Chains A and B, each alone.
Chain A
Amino acid sequence: MKGPRREPNVIPGFGITLGFTTFFLCAIVLIPLAALVLKAGGMEWERFVGVITSPRALASYRLSFGASLLAASMNMIFGFAIAWTLVRYDFPGRKIIDALIDMPFALPTAVSGIALTAVFAGNGWIGQYLEPLGIQVAYTWIGITVALTLIGMPFVVRTVQPAIQEVQRDLEDAAETLGAGRFYVFRRIIVPTVLPALLTGFTLAFARAVGEYGSVIFIAGNMPMKTEITPLLIYIKLEEFDYVGAAALGVVMLSISFAMLLAINLLQVWGRKRMMVSR
């Protein structure tokens, strides 16, 4: 807590650490990002709009957004179930499962990409049972969604876990004593407590999924207009030495990142306020 008047700080190193931090931040992050924005800003407006609204780009947004939304929603449902299971129930192997949740953070995306393709391809361990049912996962939008679900999963589980721990069990018990059904308790006590965390996890998973590249391209098939995600389109533009076109699409992606960052911050402020009121 900041007092009205601060004591003079005796700790040394303010100038040098702030200087180094700012310098490093500018050199690695800010100046390169500015280069992107200026490159796209140097385009004529009509050309910029033409690039970012070309049919191929629009198809890629539809796929990237659609698959990311679907993956984040899947994560919201299954992530809640997993977080609930890990917090409330004790079963053999719980600690190992808990540690395994962070696997997608530690596993390189290229590895999860080829591994998922191997498992979900027509002759893969899981794919061979889905293929006869008419469900082709690898090289379709379903495969893209599966890959995006994998990389987004820990974001939801890790934000929801502490929130479930916050749910006051005596409140649940009291409600049940007063005759509330299990579903009523879930709807009126558990959901309101967990909701901010659940939405934050959803947004984090979505933000990560929209920009994801490595785990997707192996399982995607990468057909223009059909299974081509936006980051891949940027990559292709670069390979064709269309730097300006790549920069234009890059600015679109960057704007989405900023919007997501803003949404996450607002959600966290909202969640903290709710927590304050409920105490």
Chain B
Amino acid sequence: MAGPSSYAELAAELASRPGQTNLRSTLIRWLLITVSLVFLGALLAAPLFAVFATALSKGWQAYFQSFVDPDTQAAIRLTLITAAVVVPLNTVFGITAAWCIAKFEFRGKSILITLIDLPLAVSPIVSGLIYVLLFGLNGWFGAWLQEHEISIVYALPGIILATMFVTFPYVARELIPLMQQLGNDEEEAAITLGAGGWFTFFRVTLPRIRWGLVYGVILCNARAMGEFGAVSVVSGNIRGLTTTMPLHIEILYNEYNFVGAFAVASLLSMLAVVTLIIKTLVERSGYRRR
């Protein structure tokens, strides 16, 4: 077999060996990186920058002026109240559901898991619609509610219910696989040694699931504060009363108050960025989604 006759040929032969980089693989590599960056730039980065650019298009003063509007302040307040009710409730639910599913064996468990995940598959509009059909004037409980002068739809309770529905699985679906993987051994040891149920949960279980819990809670919170479709259906869009931040964005936008709309949007974008930062930090701590 004739060997390579010159250094140039030797170099060419080395480059064509598997695992080596050659011109073609470098080209493919840069082509893929460019395609990915252009795609993400147009779809993710440009809109995100556009939010801040439009919000600040008339200067900082106009930007801050948008938050003086009492209706905007009411919308921010309503969003905070909704999240303050929904996130803790869904967190308690998530922990409870994960405890019963991960720690015990029982029939119908896989059906239960599927049903908990169900809201993720349902359209936001349908998520709002079901509460209107239940509590609206022509709904199942509509007449009774009207008799007792309780309003659920077009009021805060409806907004909270619809938000709870769409964020229902967020904490549970993070904790269930995590706790299933961690197993029961340490809890069993604690109980056998005489620890009570609550003590075992707070001292043994909670420290081991804390990153998964943080992960689920921040995603639940982001969705709760940002939900649009479901809340839009049940809220009735009464300005300054039943408009959350996303709904208020729609109102301002339809009034061509772009600085106002994008100023509120910039707050929610900052929330999204903070959520992603916390999420990345949690992943750095070694937590891996299952």
Q: Which of B29, B99, B222 contacts A13 (CB 8 A)?
A: B99
Contact partners of A105 in chain B: CB under 8 A: 219, 222
Counting CB contacts under 8 A, is A201 at the interface? no
Identify the stretch in A24-32, A51-59, A271-279 within 8 Å (CB) of chain B at 4 or more residues. A24-32
| In the complex with contacts A78-B36, A108-B225, A115-B265 CB distance below 8 A | yes
Question: Known: A105-B219, A235-B233. Is A39-B133 also a contact (CB below 8 A)?
Answer: yes
Flag if A24 contacts B93 (CB, 8 Å). yes
Determine whether the beta carbon of B227 is less than 8 Å from that of A257: no
- Which A residues are in CB contact (< 8 Å) with B125? 211, 213, 231-232, 234-235, 250, 253
B276 touches A106 (CB 8 A): yes
- A-B pair count, CB < 8 Å, reads 278
Q: How far is the CA of A112 from the CA of B280 in the complex (A)?
A: 21
A36-B32 Cα distance, complex, nearest whole Å: 46
Say yes or no: A35 contacts B133, CB within 8 Å. Answer: yes
Which residue of A30, A146, A214 contacts B43 across the interface (Cβ within 8 Å)? A146
Known contacts A81-B32, A260-B121; A28/B276 CB under 8 A = no
Is A247 an interface residue when CB atoms closer than 8 A count as contact?
A: yes
CB of B131 within 8 A of chain A? yes
In the complex, A176 has a CB within 8 A of chain B: yes
Given the contacts A81-B36, A97-B37, A243-B133, A29 and B24 also touching, CB distance less than 8 Å: no
- Contacts A20-B96, A30-B115 given: A243-B136 contact, CB under 8 Å? yes
Query: Does B50 lie within 8 Å of A32, measured CB to CB?
Result: no
Contacts of A125 in B (CB 8 A): 46, 50
Most buried by B among A119, A261, A265: A119
Binding site of B, secondary structure by majority: helix, strand, loop or mixed?
helix
Query: How many angstroms from the CA of A271 to the CA of B165 in the assembled complex?
Result: 30
**What bracket does the count of chain B residues touching chain A fall in?**
35 or more
* CB interface residues, A 198-253, toward B, < 8 Å: 207, 210-214, 218, 231-232, 234-235, 238, 243, 246-247, 250, 253
- B114 is an interface residue with CB less than 8 A from chain A: yes
Taking a contact as CB atoms under 8 Å apart, the answer to whether B228 and A9 are in contact is: no
Chain A proximity mask over B240-267: 1 for CB below 8 Å, otherwise 0: 0000011101100100001001100100
Q: Is the CB of A78 within 8 A of B35?
A: yes
Q: Is A45 interfacial (CB 8 A cutoff)?
A: no
Instruction: Select the stretch in B6-14, B61-69, B104-112 that faces chain A.
Output: B104-112
* A12–B40 touching, CB < 8 Å: no
Contacts of A212 in B (CB 8 A): 123-124, 229
> Which 4 pairs, one residue from A and one from B, show the smallest C-beta to C-beta distance?
A108-B226, A211-B123, A176-B18, A115-B47
17 A-B contacts (beta carbon < 8 Å) = A13-B99, A21-B116, A31-B134, A32-B134, A33-B122, A89-B29, A106-B226, A108-B245, A110-B250, A182-B24, A211-B125, A213-B123, A214-B228, A238-B132, A246-B133, A258-B121, A261-B114
